[in-house]
Amino acid sequence: MADGDGDPPARPWWRRPAFVTAATAVAVAAIGSWLTQGGISLVGGLFGNDDKAAPPLVSVQPLDTAMCNVWLLRQDPQHVADTLTRELSRDAPDPRADREKQSAIADRIRKETGSRLATGGVVDVTVQGPKDKAIVLTGLELDLKHRSRDVPGKRMAMGTGCGADIPPRRYAAALDDPAPAFKLEQQLPDGTLDPKAVGFPYKVSAGDPEYLHLESWCDDYVEWTAKLRWVSDGVQGTTEINDKGKPFRTFSGDSEAADFRYDNETFTLTPVPHNP
């Protein structure tokens, strides 16, 4: 209500603009300090932040050795084979006695010629919990990053006399399927049931790790990663399985699907016949 001179009534001191501005600045500063000193952890907890959930420790080892693998060639196949023959026959002529030396020479020549490996054909994954903590692994998802009908180069199967033990927890994926997924292999190569073929969930700890053996194949050229799902302290999380931060590569990596086969015993390159 106006006074006798027609002036509006004075505002209370606590509603004046200068006080409101100052109070707002003080409140913002106080909240910022609180968040910096740990209040944000409380906010994160209220809204499901999983910063405190200890993730599993994951070690990934793709089949990235030059021997007993398939090379995706960037140079002329005969030139690559001639280079291999010259150096292997001179420095490591016995494939049994010179096995490690042959492998080192082959790997160096593979890199020098720009040849690539199907790093996603076979991937071994070791998972364990952090110290004094158990984690439950709940699933594995395949994530396609790139697919091409054309394989960018000729494929050369490298090495003879290759073989390996059968690992536990074998998961396989046919990447040519419309919706490919890793599936637990229930049978051994001889057709009998695999007693180790027990699916998710798995419980892991520091002293009780889990070993997953991932295999993939395709007629195309595919790049992929996988997501390992887990629960730690009641909080769900995922860990990406990849090749040192990059997607794995899978192409027709079986020796029968290759275009050429190089024999490290006879030092010869042979074309692989395919049905039209």
Q: How far is CA 212 from CA 20, 63, 168, 176, 195, in A?
A: 62, 14, 7, 22, 15
pLDDT at 62 exceeding the cut of 90: yes
HSE, side-chain direction, 13 A CA sphere, residue 38: 1
- Higher pLDDT among residues 50 and 35, named by residue: 50
What are 160-213's pLDDT values in tens digits?
A: 767 655 567 899 999 999 999 999 998 877 788 888 788 999 999 999 999 999
pLDDT at 105 exceeding the cut of 60: yes
pLDDT at 26 exceeding the cut of 70: no
pLDDT at 101 exceeding the cut of 90: yes
pLDDT at 46 exceeding the cut of 80: no
- Higher pLDDT among residues 207 and 26, named by residue: 207
Q: DSSP for 12-79?
A: PGGGSHHHHHHHHHHHHHHHHHHIIIIIHHHHHHHTT--TTSPPPEEEEEE---STTEEEE-SS-HHH
Mean pLDDT computed over 26-33:
40
**Mean per-residue pLDDT of the chain:** 81
pLDDT at 97 exceeding the cut of 60: yes
Q: Name the pLDDT band for 30 (thresholds 50, 70, 90).
A: very low
**pTM beyond 0.75, yes or no:** no
Nearest to 116 by CA among 124, 129, 107: 107
Q: Which of 80-94, 139-153, 188-202, 222-236 bottoms out in mean pLDDT, i.e. has the lowest?
A: 188-202
Q: Name the pLDDT band for 32 (thresholds 50, 70, 90).
A: very low
Residue type, 84: L
CB distance 94 to 161 below 8 Å: no
Q: Name the pLDDT band for 95 (thresholds 50, 70, 90).
A: confident
